Chain A
Amino acid sequence: MKISCNWLKDYICFYLSPQELADKLTNAGLVVADIKSVEEDFCLEVEVTSNRPDCLGIIGIAREVAAVTGGILRYPETNYICESINVSKFINIVVDDSILCPRYTARVIRNVNIKQSPEWMQKRLRCLGLRPVNNIVDITNYVMMETGQPLHTFDLDKLSGQKVIVRRAMAGEEIVAINGARRALFHDMLVIADSKRPVAIAGIIGGKDTEISESTKNILLECAQFEPRQVRRTSRALGITSDSSYRFERGTDFEGVDFASKRAVRLIKEIAGGEIAGGITDINSNKPVKKKITLRMERLNRILGLEMKRDIAVDILNRLQFKIINEVDNYIDVEVPGFRGDVYREIDLIEEIARIYGYNNIPTKTSISVRGSVKSKYERVEDSIRQFLVCLGFYEVKTFSIVDKSPLQSINLWSDSGGIDIANPLRQEESRLRTCLLPSLINIKIYNMHHGVEKVKIFEIAKVYLADDRLPREKTCLGIVADVDFYTLKGIIESLLLNLGIILNCELVTAGVIESKLFKDGKAAKIKLSSNILGYLGEAKEFGFKTSPYMAELDMDLLVEKSNFTKKYQTLSQYPPVFRDLAVIIKEDYIWADIENCVKNTKANYLEEINFFDIYRGKQIPAGMKSIAFNLCFQSQDRTLKSEEVDLAVQTILNSLQETLGAELRKQ
């Protein structure tokens, strides 16, 4: 809300520069975002939080200044002289719904002189960014800015049947608002109607038909209180917001209604002349009970960490216009003024006192109790994977969880259910929760390619969202895209597993249909870890790359579950290992796993390790065959092995390979 410094000084005397005033207000919770010099005045842009509608009027700000500076508040004049003829002669008011309209007041002023408002008023309105219209409209705006209470004026002669009914809209009714907007109204909306039609949407905007014009003679001044949630719902449904709806939906003061009405009438008489009908039509059936709260000093000091004396608290509450009913020992009984709808509990009073006392005057304590914190298994695994991949030259990326509905983004590696759509997306590009990380990583690879980085090694740890019961299943995944070959990426994944203490017993099987949307045919594998699917690995399809990277997506939740950080020392052998390199010629159909399994199944004595090192197809090898070379390591824990016993073991292995797979030792 914008306020004028000069205007503020009508209600409170202070000797502060605009900047000093701004600092004081900011420290009390009213952030001054901007100070502008306007026509020999200063305009302060004050950010008023949604719980403080009382500060949406300059008097409200003045109250805060008074609380902070200890100055004395001066309220503006509201008295006026009226005719003997009563307002009820001119208008009959009916309130149908006293819940949605707790208070409705009306006053009538006849024979007003519509013209421009005086320069001083126009200047103040301009300072606040309001456009002057005519004296009557300007006065209602002026009083709203002054008190925070919205008001509305009707051209009395245009209201049919001398009647105002506050009721719900009826089927088929519509209204053209002052701003020209035509809106159909619905039954849950509250309107102000005359005997024929709605003439205003309650608390939001007036109708064009009954607005104040140059020819207006007699006016009806409405000043009311409307139920905040109702105003908010209607304002949102119709897409109309106004200074009035902004204030009503935050809550106005029941008692402030008559004050604002009288203040406006006084100004009308002063500025536009006319005769004021006697009395007031004031329909109110739900006068709120004054809230009383007991504040315990002991509670206040415990919550704030202070040792404040009672008289200081009492002083602050007084300055904030709270009424002290009683104070004894460590208790203060307080009556809350009507304009402070936000204060209804002891804790609210504690905040008020803290606010004015100054948050920066509350001590900074460093005496919280000792407590150990333990890293969860998930944390450990996540940290370990990040560290591992970063050291291997990978960059971590972060991409959006909300994606488009393209076929690529619709790929779901992890479940058969569809994606989860956003009901109110901003754009189609971000309208569904992703079911797979790799499409986003592919886009990052392409983005970098277009920015001159040809080769990337990237990964992301993030969630995919799989439709489930009421809430989706959120699965954390690890996505990897790297310009390396298949076996390098496979090796990285295997090392990563070892690093997490997962014993390498994962199995690669040929990938299925879904994976073929991401990976090239025959160049992809599903990774199984015991009976679970750990993830997928393969060469990326043509996504517009110059060279296809290899990619993998792994189930992080499974990695966390299977990871094991307990370690046990294995005795180091005192005796040297014996190595033997072998190359066998074998049919093309057999794979390395066949050889490895065959060798392991022989359970040859002292065989510790078998390591692949080369594959060869060429001149010396018959067609349809290949030569596979590997290294065997033999070792004993208790003695040095003799050459002859290793020879014997190697022979057993060769025999088994020959019998099972038809593999022959390749001669030099």
Chain B
Amino acid sequence: MTDSIKLTTVTASIATESITVTNAAGASVTLAIRDISALTNIISAESCPLLTPRPAQFVTGLTITRDTFGADAAYKTVKYMLNYLFFFCPLGQGATLYEKFDDMVTAAAVILNYFGTHTNLSGATDILPGVVEDFEPVINADGALYHGCGIPFAVTQFMET
């Protein structure tokens, strides 16, 4: 039994998911999901809708617990949060500041529903969306505001798996 923390496997799994959402132009598109190896400081209107790892505090609350006797050889469980940002469209897109707000909420709900019903991702024993604290706005590296929200994922992994 070799233990491992498959954090990068989980992020790769998330990045390969295919989720169809309606973008700010009203078109049905596949949500772009970035892996941690594809992070850039460029997020533009053309990138959206986009789900990307939040560079600051990407992994939070990581704990490792020993579940059985056996010291180093014991069954252990690792739990952590992965924090993503959902960029839907620039805040000013649309005739009014909040014209696209409802579209963002609709798309975010689609994403949350998807991950609420796809909890068997490679690298995780269990994964579920966590507590969404902030619906709007999200900020790119240039300081531009976007309709969007933070989407955390609560990951549980048996370390021997």
Q: Do A and B come from one complex?
A: no
